[in-house]
């Protein structure tokens, strides 16, 4: 697990992470390289720029990487469904129908919970490097637009992850933004109050 200056104490002291590191010995902590270690990831583009550097991918220990953000929810039975997606160079939830930013033809690639192939990511970076002085593209849009032949179809990717909603199909993950959950709770509460 990579960590930065802003979450170092949490990562080292959280009981679950501590147990995984000290007793089970299944968690390896790696500080992000500078300038990212002390970078404020609340600033736009910082996270994307990090993933769009070859240096980041050189630090990873395995040929495949499971990236997940704090608003990812792993579904029951995920471990048994995950292996079928390891052959993909990139898989993330299908984009929502109203997503207008991504030029991906197959419509797959939300990076909030995704599997990435280390060498494929490095090939994309070498073939079309991002200029850090320009507008930084969202990393998932950047990668999926270059890997269209290496991503599964929407009908397959929906069994990997869902973005924004869950229809009950078997899946590894549901990716729901916190503000969406709060909005849905608020709507549900209002409907209950008015009933």
Q: For residues 13 and 9, give the distance between their C-alpha atoms in angstroms, rounded to a whole number.
A: 6
Q: What is the pLDDT of residue 183?
A: 54
Read off the pTM.
0.78
Q: Quote the CA–CA distance of 149 and 108 in Å, as a whole number.
A: 11
Q: Return the pLDDT at 132.
A: 78
**Per-residue model confidence as pLDDT tens digits over 87-144:** 999 998 887 776 666 656 667 888 888 999 999 999 999 999 988 778 888 898 889 8
Mean of pLDDT values over 68-83: 82
Residue count (the chain)? 195
Helix (H, G, I), strand (E, B) or coil at 43: coil
Please spell the DSSP secondary structure of 76-142, one letter per residue: TTHHHHGGGGTT-SEEEEEPPTT--S---SS-EEEEEEEEEEHHHHHHHHHHS---TTSPPPPHHHH
d(CA 54, CA 106): 25
């Amino acid at each position: 697990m990579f960590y930065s200056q802003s979450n170092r104490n949490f990562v080292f002291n959280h009981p679950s992470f501590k147990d995984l590191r000290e007793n089970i010995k299944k968690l390896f902590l790696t500080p992000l390289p500078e300038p990212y270690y002390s970078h404020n990831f609340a600033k736009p583009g910082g996270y994307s720029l990090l993933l769009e550097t070859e240096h980041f991918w050189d630090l990873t220990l395995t040929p495949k990487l499971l990236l997940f953000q704090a608003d990812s929810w792993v579904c029951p039975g995920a471990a048994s469904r995950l292996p079928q997606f390891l052959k993909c160079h990139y898989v993330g939830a299908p984009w929502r129908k109203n997503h207008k930013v991504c030029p991906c033809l197959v419509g797959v690639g939300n990076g909030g919970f995704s599997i990435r192939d280390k060498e494929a990511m490095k090939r994309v970076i070498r073939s079309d490097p991002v200029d850090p002085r320009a507008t930084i593209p969202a990393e998932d849009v950047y990668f999926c637009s270059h890997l269209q032949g290496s991503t599964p179809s929407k009908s397959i990717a929906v069994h990997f992850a869902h973005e924004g909603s869950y229809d009950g199909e078997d899946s590894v993950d549901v990716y729901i933004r916190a503000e969406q959950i709060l909005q849905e709770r608020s709507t549900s509460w209002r409907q209950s109050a008015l009933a």
